[in-house]
């Protein structure tokens, strides 16, 4: 009975938005890429960090693993906060945490405390995770499925533009100013986004006073975890995220330690893979606008990802240079990922009425999968073949998930 009352009380929250609300695109663009930029900005510095703290490459990867753990957990935090206090207050909290934890990472370097750096990265993820969560919430509340797919396809461009630029900037900062400067740059990003958020309209006018109560949270999240199509969408997105974060964790060591690239060369080489996401996002939006079934678009994406993984294996077996063996195949892989990410999320979110908790569960599943896979990387030494072998396994898992979750619908 209490559960029914909670649902009735929360129902007005789901109906309060006006269909005429237009959200500032540049703010959404920086929001959706907020965590991904913070995740990869310092990756060209990973070998330098390993040398600085005198740790192994595998231990240095903990800075990515614990970021992903914090990222996954953050997706379950901001849904209740946003329902209770509003969308903008939740965003302010997250961005504020990101700025403070960026400065904590700076102190970790000054004090030469690697454990503090890992903890700072965990808090950095807890804060920056608000961007992805609130972007999916706002987009799927304000627009219908067709327009949301178009919006998400264009927003996926953020994964092409800002993280690629972030890695390039991180490479230059590392080479000329040291790895600590990457975290000063992250703090600057947070300050810029915070300023833009002040111009964002508050789209929630009704507050759910029960949003932070334990029983209400358990009931809300349990119902979302039982939504098979929502979970399938989260798993597919988790596969996409895993491609990106595994590359971020492994590629710097392969490129710089095994293939002798400099941090600046590695940073600029990372401007190539985003081309695939840019082209894929624009083409996906074009297909969605032509009313092509979203499931068909996702199938095309999965096929492109599989082709890219096969191309990477062939290039590595032929001992081609880093640009051809790592970065060229990632263009093809990212092209396919753009097809999958936008449309898997839209289909999944269309099957839940509670957009806030639904997006939280979907993104928790998304980042949880990536976290587990990246965590497993620490069990294996970094070799040339580890990246394409993981990619082949991910391709098989995504094909299976698609067939079980969307194939017969």
Other beta carbons within 10 Å of 26: 9
Tell me if 70 sits within 8 A of 129, measured CB to CB: yes
Angle in degrees, 0-180, between the axes of helices 181-197 and 87-111, rounded to the nearest 10: 170
Tokens of 371: 């976290």
pLDDT at 356: 67
pLDDT at 143: 67
Give the lowest-confidence range in 197-211, 291-305, 333-347: 197-211
pLDDT at 3: 44
Mean pLDDT (whole number) for 37-61 = 84
pLDDT tens figures, 22-39: 777 788 888 888 888 888
Compute the distance between CA of residue 156 and CA of residue 17 in angstroms, rounded to an integer. 24
Mean pLDDT (whole number) for 346-350 = 75
Which candidate, 344, 240, 329, 245, places its Cα nearest to that of 297?
344
pLDDT at 221: 75
**Secondary structure letter of residue 179 according to DSSP:** T
| pLDDT at residue 361 is higher than 60 | yes
pLDDT tens figures, 291-316: 778 788 888 999 999 999 999 999 88
Give the lowest-confidence range in 97-106, 127-136, 330-339, 352-361: 352-361
Q: Domains along the chain?
A: 23-201+213-405 (1.20.1250.20)
Enclosing H/E stretch for 63: helix 62-85
Mean pLDDT (whole number) for 41-63 = 84
pLDDT at 6: 41
Sign of CA pseudo-dihedral 340, 342, 347, 353: positive
pLDDT tens figures, 224-245: 777 777 888 888 888 888 898 8
pLDDT tens figures, 388-397: 889 999 999 9
pLDDT at 15: 40
Q: Which residues lie below 8 Å from residue 341, measured CB to CB, with a gap of 6+? A: 152, 156, 159, 237, 240
Mark out the alpha helices in 211-253 (DSSP H runs). Answer: 214-225, 228-253
pLDDT band at residue 12 under the 50/70/90 scheme = very low
pLDDT at 210: 66
Stronger pLDDT, 161 or 14, i.e. the higher one = 161
Give the lowest-confidence range in 58-67, 343-352, 391-400: 343-352
pLDDT band at residue 341 under the 50/70/90 scheme = confident
pLDDT at 111: 93
Average pLDDT over the chain reads 81
162 CA to centre of own chain = 12
pLDDT tens figures, 107-121: 998 998 999 999 999
Tell me if 387 sits within 8 A of 253, measured CB to CB: no
Sign of CA pseudo-dihedral 91, 61, 102, 153: negative
Stronger pLDDT, 5 or 163, i.e. the higher one = 163
| pLDDT at residue 16 is higher than 50 | no
**Secondary structure letter of residue 259 according to DSSP:** S
| pLDDT at residue 1 is higher than 60 | no
| pLDDT at residue 8 is higher than 60 | no
Mean pLDDT (whole number) for 342-350 = 76
pLDDT at 330: 92
Tell me if 122 sits within 8 A of 87, measured CB to CB: no
pLDDT band at residue 96 under the 50/70/90 scheme = very high
Mean pLDDT (whole number) for 154-177 = 78
| pLDDT at residue 219 is higher than 60 | yes
Mean pLDDT (whole number) for 73-97 = 84
Other beta carbons within 10 Å of 218: 11
């Amino acid at each position: 009975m209490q559960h029914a009352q909670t649902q009735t009380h929360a129902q007005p929250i789901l109906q309060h938005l006006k269909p005429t609300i237009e959200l500032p695109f540049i703010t959404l663009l920086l929001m959706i890429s907020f965590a991904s930029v913070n995740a990869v900005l310092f990756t060209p510095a990973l070998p330098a960090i390993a040398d600085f703290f005198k740790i192994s490459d595998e231990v240095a990867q903990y800075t990515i693993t614990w970021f992903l753990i914090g990222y996954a957990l953050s997706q379950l935090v901001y849904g209740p906060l946003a329902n209770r206090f509003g969308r903008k207050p939740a965003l302010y909290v997250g961005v504020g945490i990101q700025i403070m934890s960026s400065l904590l990472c700076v102190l970790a370097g000054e004090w030469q405390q690697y454990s503090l750096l890992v903890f700072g990265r965990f808090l950095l993820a807890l804060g920056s995770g608000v961007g992805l969560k609130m972007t999916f919430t706002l987009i799927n509340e304000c627009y219908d499925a067709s327009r949301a797919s178009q919006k998400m396809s264009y927003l996926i461009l953020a994964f092409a533009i800002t993280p690629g630029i972030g890695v390039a900037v991180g490479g230059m900062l590392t080479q000329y100013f040291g790895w600590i400067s990457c975290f000063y740059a992250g703090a600057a990003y947070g300050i810029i986004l915070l300023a833009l958020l002040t111009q964002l309209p508050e789209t929630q006018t009704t507050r759910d006073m029960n949003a932070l109560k334990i029983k209400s949270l358990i009931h809300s999240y349990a119902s979302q975890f039982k939504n098979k199509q929502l979970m399938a969408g989260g798993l597919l997105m988790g596969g996409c995220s895993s491609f990106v974060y595994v590359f971020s964790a492994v590629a710097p060591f392969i490129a710089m330690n095994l293939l002798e690239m400099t941090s600046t060369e590695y940073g600029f080489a990372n401007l190539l893979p985003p081309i695939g996401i840019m082209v894929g996002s624009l083409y996906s939006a074009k297909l969605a606008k032509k009313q092509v079934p979203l499931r068909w678009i996702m199938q095309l994406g999965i096929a492109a990802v599989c082709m890219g993984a096969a191309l990477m294996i062939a290039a590595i077996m032929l001992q081609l240079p880093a640009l051809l063996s790592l970065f060229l195949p990632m263009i093809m892989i990212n092209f396919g990922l753009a097809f999958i990410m936008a449309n898997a999320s839209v289909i999944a979110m269309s099957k839940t009425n509670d957009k806030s908790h639904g997006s939280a569960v979907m993104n928790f599943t998304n980042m949880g999968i990536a976290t587990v896979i990246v965590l497993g990387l620490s069990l294996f030494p970094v070799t040339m073949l580890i990246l394409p072998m993981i990619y082949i396994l991910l391709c098989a898992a995504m094909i299976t998930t698609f067939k079980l979750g969307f194939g017969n619908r």
